[in-house]
Structure 1
Amino acid sequence: MAELSELVGVLKAAGEGTRVRLLALLADGDHSVKDLTEILKQSQPRVSRHLKLLADAGLVRRNAEGAWAYYGLAQQGDGAELAQWLIARLDDGDAERRRDIERQAAVRAQQQAQASQYFDTVASSWDLLKTLQVPEEAVEAAVVAALGGRRVDTLIDLGTGTGRMLEVLAGSYRRGIGLDSSREMLAVARARLAGAGIGTAQVRLGDIGNLDSSAGPAEVIVIHQVLHYFDDPGRMLGQARRLLGPGGDMLIVDFAPHDLEFLRSEHAHRRLGLSQAQMADWAAAADLSVQSVAEFPNQNSERGLTVCLWHLSDKTATEFSDDR
């Protein structure tokens, strides 16, 4: 139980209109200060001041990434419980709340449009760009090994890009589905799969930031070098979770935290890597458990990026099995 003074501090932090609006927005996923200023139509210093009060009171959490910072709802503690209590009682039909939701959707759509434009530009050289940044051979071998030699009925590759993961894992599925929002990337993927003689996989145009659950269920979902293009990887992970069948596995490949700002400014990255703690929180929120984590440092450069492979599993199925 919290002391009286601490509880009063939390209530004071939450008891202001703009701060309640911020809590409601962050309940739908992480946002940068820049995003929140655009949505609320308030100045950056004002929004930052509100966020600091909320963070100091334990209502939200702050993750610094290079020159940017991202905020999300606190996951535990009295502040987290109060935030959830308040949000559950908000009326999404309220005029101001409705405007916030509409602006939030517009900000996300703009971000995804920028990413798609980038992918369209680099589609033909995408695989070369990846080899300059990460130890692909070791990562690909680890992804294959993570499936333990089994062959599943359905595997979904979200943000399939050039279809490389569908090619690498061709022996691990009877039906492979690749989803991507870039037509140019999909053209490259179709050519790659056809050239490799892989007839068990197909690629489709789809918004991986707003997934259609009809694509699932899948026993395995692969998210390879995708989450760092999203302001809120946890929200993307939660959406992907809806496509995962009971007892399914999710393989996520992405960068460990780094400080290479040029990847944000020149290569459309939104997050400068993902930490182990962040992934654990996002997985838990999506009813997934972290089975293992492997790291692959880049040996080619002093400032080379480290790549991580997370193996997540359906937490609800694991708990059911343990109960038995």
Structure 2
Amino acid sequence: MAFADDLSDAPLNEPVLATVLIAQDGSLTNLTQTLKAAGEETRLRILSLLAAGERSVKDLTDILSQSQPRISRHLKLLLEAGLIERHREGTWAFFRLSDGQGGSLARSLVSRLDANDPVIARDRVRLDTVRSSNGQVAAEYFAEHAAEWDSIRSLHADDAEIEAAMLALAPASMDLMVDLGTGTARMLELFSRKYRRAIGIDQSPDMLAYARNRLDRAGLSAAQVRRGDMLDLGSELRGADFVVMHQVLHFLDDPAAAIRGAIDILVPGGMLMIVDFKPHELEFLRTEQAHRRLGFSTAQLSGWISEAGGKLTGSVSIGAPARSPDRRLSVGLWTGQVAGGEVRP
């Protein structure tokens, strides 16, 4: 595995030495431990993969073709060195580069890896395969349940209560609304009196067929749906003043990337609205309903929105606790805003 060019020739946002010196507490012992943690081939490969987004232990074992105990040992050393962070969801754990100085050091090292190195290139190909596999599981589920999608949502808090909260917090008027992961197009229907035009994005042809039929029956000519990837939004969606992600994030392999894409298409002062489950422990949703993540905390979403260039502006919790007798889940409603203006009243 090779680094790209000589370190002295590679451009830096800040000098590598300065980044290292402020890692941990700056002591010789801690600096040595941090560099030792990063300076091993498998661990450097892990850092490279995590630089592309959060990954689970299973993802890493599949990509690196190493045993779970061995990968866990490498992750433990990287955690102790402050290079990465861990987020637990039930029996699963997701890892990402640290937001602190250890993460800055890791990014500096990864930026110097030669992208054409055979090992790194193979890891990226396997990463793409894992991403595709994770997406396929969700896509197959959507295709199978397109016509009954609204009824599946009965697992969580009352829809009427959730939708009333959404309407109350949304802008009074919108030029362009974008619904990411539109599903049955219920959100396009819900906000139809507020927008001048609206676009719903979804990857599933079955879902889009159902959505188009719904919009046609409702006579909502100002709304349209199209097939697309919310992680690769086209430039034609830029200029939205309202983006909604309703019960979408928990299916995604990389929720942070989806939030970055949503923030990127908003105008200054535009609003992002996220509705999803609060943290819970219903593991069966992973296997029975293709949930990738078991809910989200306000701190988690606030961090992702901030990293994307926005700020969290509101958080509302709706419904019964996750451990209620009837297993109904609490739902969170979060709003974010892009800097540079005010959301229209």
Normalising by structure 1, we get a TM-score of 0.93
Matched, 1:147 2:173: no
Q: CA RMSD in A?
A: 1.6
| Corresponding residue number in structure 1 for 2:108 | 85
SS of the aligned residue for 1:231 comes to coil
Q: Is the 8 A contact 1:33 1:48 kept in 2?
A: yes
| Corresponding residue number in structure 2 for 1:247 | 269
Q: Is the 8 A contact 2:311 2:336 kept in 1?
A: yes
Any idea what the Cα deviations from partners look like across 1:161-216, whole Å, max 9, x if unmatched? 00000000111111100000111111111111111111110000112233333332
SS of the aligned residue for 1:171 comes to coil
| Corresponding residue number in structure 1 for 2:160 | 137
Cα distance, 1:299 vs. partner?
7.5
Q: Which amino acid aligns with 1:139?
A: I
In 2, the alpha carbon distance for the partners of 1:250 and 1:127 equals: 22
| Corresponding residue number in structure 2 for 1:23 | 47
In 2, the alpha carbon distance for the partners of 1:4 and 1:148 equals: 54
Q: Which amino acid aligns with 1:264?
A: R
Matched, 1:282 2:304: yes
In 2, the alpha carbon distance for the partners of 1:214 and 1:22 equals: 35
Q: Which shows bigger deviation, 300-309 or 90-99?
A: 300-309
| Corresponding residue number in structure 1 for 2:69 | 45
SS of the aligned residue for 2:75 comes to helix
| Corresponding residue number in structure 1 for 2:338 | 314
In 2, the alpha carbon distance for the partners of 1:31 and 1:166 equals: 32
Q: Which amino acid aligns with 2:114?
A: D
Q: Is the 8 A contact 1:135 1:298 kept in 2?
A: no
Dislocated runs of 4+, deviation >6 Å = none
Cα distance, 1:223 vs. partner?
0.5
In 1, the alpha carbon distance for the partners of 2:103 and 2:269 equals: 29
Q: Which amino acid aligns with 1:46?
A: R
In 1, the alpha carbon distance for the partners of 2:276 and 2:304 equals: 14
| Corresponding residue number in structure 2 for 1:195 | 217
Which of 223, 226, 231 is equivalent to 2:248?
A: 226
SS of the aligned residue for 2:69 comes to helix
Matched, 1:54 2:75: no
The share of aligned pairs that are identical, in percent, is: 47
Matched, 1:271 2:293: yes
In 1, the alpha carbon distance for the partners of 2:329 and 2:294 equals: 10
Which of 123, 134, 142 is equivalent to 1:119?
A: 142
In 2, the alpha carbon distance for the partners of 1:236 and 1:41 equals: 28
Q: Is the 8 A contact 1:213 1:242 kept in 2?
A: no
| Corresponding residue number in structure 1 for 2:6 | none
Q: Which shows bigger deviation, 294-303 or 199-208?
A: 294-303
| Corresponding residue number in structure 2 for 1:69 | 93
In 1, the alpha carbon distance for the partners of 2:299 and 2:280 equals: 15
In 1, the alpha carbon distance for the partners of 2:227 and 2:286 equals: 25
Normalising by structure 2, we get a TM-score of 0.88
Q: Is the 8 A contact 1:119 1:182 kept in 2?
A: yes
In 1, the alpha carbon distance for the partners of 2:321 and 2:78 equals: 41
Any idea what the Cα deviations from partners look like across 1:248-290, whole Å, max 9, x if unmatched? 1100011111000011010000000011221121111101100
Cα distance, 1:241 vs. partner?
2.4
Q: Is the 8 A contact 1:28 1:235 kept in 2?
A: no
Matched, 1:109 2:136: no
Structure 1 segments unaligned to the other structure (5+ residues): none
SS of the aligned residue for 2:276 comes to strand
Q: Is the 8 A contact 1:32 1:231 kept in 2?
A: no
In 2, the alpha carbon distance for the partners of 1:214 and 1:28 equals: 25
Q: Which shows bigger deviation, 11-20 or 257-266?
A: 11-20
Larger Cα Rg: Structure 1 or Structure 2? 2
In 2, the alpha carbon distance for the partners of 1:63 and 1:261 equals: 16
Cα distance, 1:246 vs. partner?
2.4
